[in-house]
Amino acid sequence: MSRTLLVSPDRPGAYPSIGSAVLDAPDDAVISIAPGLYRETIDLADRSVTLTAADDVVIDATSTTAPVLRASGGRLTLRNVTVRAGDAPAIQLDGGTLRAERCVLSAGFGPVVQVTGPADVAVAHCEVSGGEHGLVLEDCTAKVDHTKVTAVSADGVIVRLGATVVLHDCQITDCGRRGVYAYQYGRPTIDTCEVSGTSEAGILIASDSTAVLRHTVVRDASGPAIAYGRRCGGEVVSCRWENTAEPALELAEPALVSVTAAEQSRVTTDEPAGADVQSLLAELDAMVGLASVKDEVRSLIDEIQVNEWRRRAGLPTGSLSHHLVFAGAPGTGKTTVARIYGKLLAALGVLPKGQFNEVSRRDLVGQYLGHTAEKTTMVFEGATGGVLFIDEAYALSRAGAENDSFGQEAIDTLVKLMEDYRDEAAVIVAGYSDEMLRFLDANPGLASRFSKTIDFENYSPDELTLIVQRMVATQEYDLDDEAAPLLHRHFAVVSQTANFGNARDARRLFDRVRKAQSQRLSRLGGIPAVSELRTLRLDDVTAAVS
């Protein structure tokens, strides 16, 4: 018969804290916790205990960087407990058994629940919220039943490293990336669930994973409802989707996935959307300056179109890589052109979605060797179908240390992924010209992965003046006619300084002009007329440039 220990800070003879009770508890003990707030963290190694509460028990470690409940081996059971973490998991299980019933779990950063195996997990009637990820389940067997996962900044549920996970009657909502993400041989079964409000795919199956989806609804996803990557198989049975990107059901290898009684998305054709291409090229042409960049992008689009015409005519076509290097100083339009380029590839049918994913070193590099490859792969696969834009890419090869193994691991992983997914994503790396040359030397195969380097020159004083004038018109201001020569003289001087930001500095100058106008008008002692609210005087510009 199991022993029961009582935790109650105010009751004589009871344990004052959960941790003190755990220290004295024999295996298979039940620790009954009185209502209250307990600010502590608990470690269990090869222990088998049950933490249970009748009502209103909160274990809070939001002010620490340690997991609230950390168990390795043994068996941990939680019932009717609220667990709040800070920048660490609410529950971290490193092997063993976890049972959580009717619990409320949250975190500020990182995964709310993190399981590394081999482990056996059962979560039922719980609420999981906050954190970067809701449930991260790897190398384990898990059953998640009647549970809500909501308001996480990245993925709701991650199934990886061979984990076999059953999600039954769960709700996964408001995720910053995917609702369910399986990769590296994950094996989820998703039965009678609802996934909604994701910024990317509702359910993404990638990296040799196998998934069975039954009677599941995906709503309001910015990406496809359900996506299976290459070498991924399984079943989609009686599933439906509403208000998602198209194609709603995206299958990289349809022969590997059985689809039965599922609501199909509309059939798309291979015809490029000519009107969209022309409107996007017009958007590119409308940008100030960048004449050589526009020519380069147009030549790439022309080559793609001719390749498509040859394919339809039964003629052989060359293999085109869509990976590019954008070299130039900040503020020269690299990000904007990359967005348009992705949309053009989608309009031409080269990429299915053309979405834009901007990342930097911190998004790719992990905290330890091996973690970086996993993190980089996750980011890359999330960008398939569109553009992965890596700003200041040279930071991967110069992190301040002579031998940056973490950055090098990210680069080496990218080289392989860029070849494996060359037809499914466009990678654009961007940064200063000299720095990018050194970056391309970081891996022997890196430079060959990119089809072209496009150089973005600094804007001239005339072009920077025009950029400010366009900002003025867009914001419904009227600029004094005498201000243009002053702007030109100002940009002729500052453009020669180190670290000049081109269009970014033009934006900052415009903001300073508006601030000068606001200060001038606030001293009038009354509500200005509409004409005064619209007018930016020469004095405002003089104050801004000085």
The neighbour count for residue 269, using CB atoms within 10 Å, is 7
Amino acid in position 62: T
Confidence of residue 421 (pLDDT cuts 50, 70, 90): confident
Confidence of residue 398 (pLDDT cuts 50, 70, 90): low
Confidence of residue 266 (pLDDT cuts 50, 70, 90): very low
pLDDT digits (tens, 9 = 90+) for 466-492: 988 888 888 888 888 888 889 989 989
- 118-143 mean pLDDT: 96
Average pLDDT of the chain is: 88
Domain with CATH 3.40.50.300 in the chain: 274-456
Q: Which pLDDT belongs to residue 66?
A: 93
pLDDT digits (tens, 9 = 90+) for 267-286: 333 444 444 778 788 888 88
191 versus 314: which is more confidently predicted? 191
Strand 240-244 and strand 180-183: pairing?
A: unpaired
Q: Which pLDDT belongs to residue 406?
A: 78
Name the β-bridge partners of 356: 387
Token pair belonging to 111:
């995964």
Is the link from the previous residue into 12 a cis peptide, with omega within 30 of 0? Answer: no
Token pair belonging to 408:
């090098």
Strand 42-45 and strand 257-260: pairing?
A: unpaired
CATH topology of domain 461-545: Helicase, Ruva Protein; domain 3 (1.10.8)
Q: Which pLDDT belongs to residue 319?
A: 67
- 109-126 mean pLDDT: 94
- 197-220 mean pLDDT: 94
Q: Percentage of the chain with pLDDT > 70?
A: 95
- Residue 112, pLDDT > 90, answer yes
Q: How far is CA 344 from the centre of its chain?
A: 22
Q: Which pLDDT belongs to residue 5?
A: 96
pLDDT digits (tens, 9 = 90+) for 59-95: 999 999 999 999 999 999 999 999 999 989 999 999 9
pLDDT digits (tens, 9 = 90+) for 188-201: 999 999 999 999 99
pLDDT digits (tens, 9 = 90+) for 361-379: 888 887 766 778 888 888 8
Token pair belonging to 364:
């790719």
CATH of domain 274-456: 3.40.50.300
Which run of H or of E encompasses 180?
A: strand 180-183
Secondary structure letter of residue 421 according to DSSP: T
d(CA 78, CA 128) in angstroms, rounded, equals 14
Q: Which pLDDT belongs to residue 213?
A: 97
8 Å CB contact between 125 and 148: no
The neighbour count for residue 388, using CB atoms within 10 Å, is 28
d(CA 117, CA 94) in angstroms, rounded, equals 6
- Residue 498, pLDDT > 80, answer no
Confidence of residue 1 (pLDDT cuts 50, 70, 90): low
- 320-324 mean pLDDT: 83
8 Å CB contact between 276 and 342: no
Q: Percentage of the chain with pLDDT > 90?
A: 44
d(CA 237, CA 222) in angstroms, rounded, equals 22
Q: Which pLDDT belongs to residue 474?
A: 83
Domain with CATH 1.10.8.60 in the chain: 461-545
Q: Which pLDDT belongs to residue 281?
A: 84
Token pair belonging to 335:
């990000």
Instruction: Name 414's Cβ contacts closer than 8 Å, sequence gap at least 6.
Output: 364, 376, 380, 427, 446
